[in-house]
Amino acid sequence: MIQEGVKLSPAEEYAGLKRTIEQRGLLNKQPAYYTYKILLTLSLLALSIAFLALIDNIWLQLANAAFLAFVFGQFAFIGHDGGHHQIFTSKRGNEIVGLVICFLLAFDRSWWVDKHNRHHSYPNDVALDPDSNIPVLAFTKDQARSKRGLYRFIVKYQAYFFLPMLALEGFGLRLASLQYLLRTKVKFPVAEPLLIASHFVVYFALLFYLLEPWHALMFIGVHQGLFGLYMGASFAPNHKGMPMLDNDTDMDFLRRQVITARNIKGHPFTDFWYGGLNYQIEHHLFPSMPRNNLKEAQRIIKPFCQTHHIPYHDTGTLQAQREILRSLHQESAPLRDASL
């Protein structure tokens, strides 16, 4: 038990919080929950494929494309959880999940784990967080000033381009995966590229076999565009528009993880839609915590932060979008006003 009035170091503060989390069993694996989640998502995928095979109406198929975008997003959340070892106790089990998602979504497992781990280690660090170094966005005024050519024009009006650009997120993630495969030695050098190639073969073969060519292209456009929008809109609220850090920032792990993250207020629909990422603060403090325990962890972590005077940002979906767009507009101001 922590004695009142005793000044603790940041490391001791976090250790005490972690002990409380562990005592509540919130880091224990949840096999029943993830069995249900995986089977449900596979069932939704099977439903979409059956609809694709049986219904001969392009407008209904475009609605199916939108539905499939949602299903792909749900698989991405499962892959995210596997990458953090939230699902299985064994490393191998989580790696198998990652490889299955590699096939289903054509995202390279090694690339995602490497990139996402670096993000968790240095959230919103302008030099070290890969999610804070995006060519078509600027999260600080210095980043905005450094842009050149077409990137400079896009960043100049990035608040207006932001939502439309999210529709390209699926393409961007896959391009980054392929670049990583070509440049880096991955953990499964045969399986990973083979699974990604198999995805494209199966995906295009199904669509062009079951649909007319132009209908297949329309399906792909709607599916991929909405998938990118879903992914981008799900991940953007986590950190975009929150404080940015640099090499001169002296901040302990606990405060770094909390202050740079934003939560979206919990609700059964919100929790499902965001795949648990709406509890971003809790997730960053305890990345291996199973998704369905994050809400309970919030009941511990939020008052803990208030007691220790650590800013804890918890807001609604629309307000989060306003904050993101406002921040993007403010940080790109030097490109619109030469006097800044």
What is the amino acid identity at position 155? V
Residue-level pLDDT at 247: 75
CB 147 within 8 A of CB 155: yes
Residue-level pLDDT at 246: 86
Residue-level pLDDT at 2: 44
Digit-by-digit pLDDT tens for the chain (340 residues) are 344 556 788 899 999 999 999 999 999 999 999 999 999 999 999 999 999 999 999 999 999 999 999 999 999 999 999 999 999 999 999 999 999 999 999 999 999 999 999 999 999 999 999 999 999 999 999 999 999 999 999 999 999 999 999 999 999 999 999 999 999 888 999 999 999 999 999 999 999 999 999 999 999 999 999 999 999 999 999 999 999 998 777 889 999 999 999 999 989 999 999 999 999 999 999 999 999 999 999 999 999 999 999 999 999 999 999 999 999 999 999 998 864 4
Residue-level pLDDT at 200: 97
- The answer for residues whose C-beta is within 8 angstroms of residue 157's C-beta and 6 or more apart is 332
Q: Hey, where are the domains in the chain?
A: 10-336
CB 296 within 8 A of CB 108: no
Q: Where are the alpha helices (DSSP H) in the chain?
A: 10-23, 31-54, 58-83, 91-105, 109-121, 141-146, 149-156, 158-166, 169-183, 191-210, 213-239, 253-259, 268-273, 280-285, 294-307, 317-331, 333-336
CB 267 within 8 A of CB 254: no
Residue-level pLDDT at 337: 83
- Transcribe 289-328 into DSSP letters: S-GGGHHHHHHHHHHHHHHTT----EE-HHHHHHHHHHHH
Q: At what angle do helices 317-331 and 213-239 cross, to 10 degrees?
A: 80
Residue-level pLDDT at 8: 81
| H or E segment to which residue 264 belongs | strand 263-264
Residue-level pLDDT at 10: 83
CB 118 within 8 A of CB 128: yes
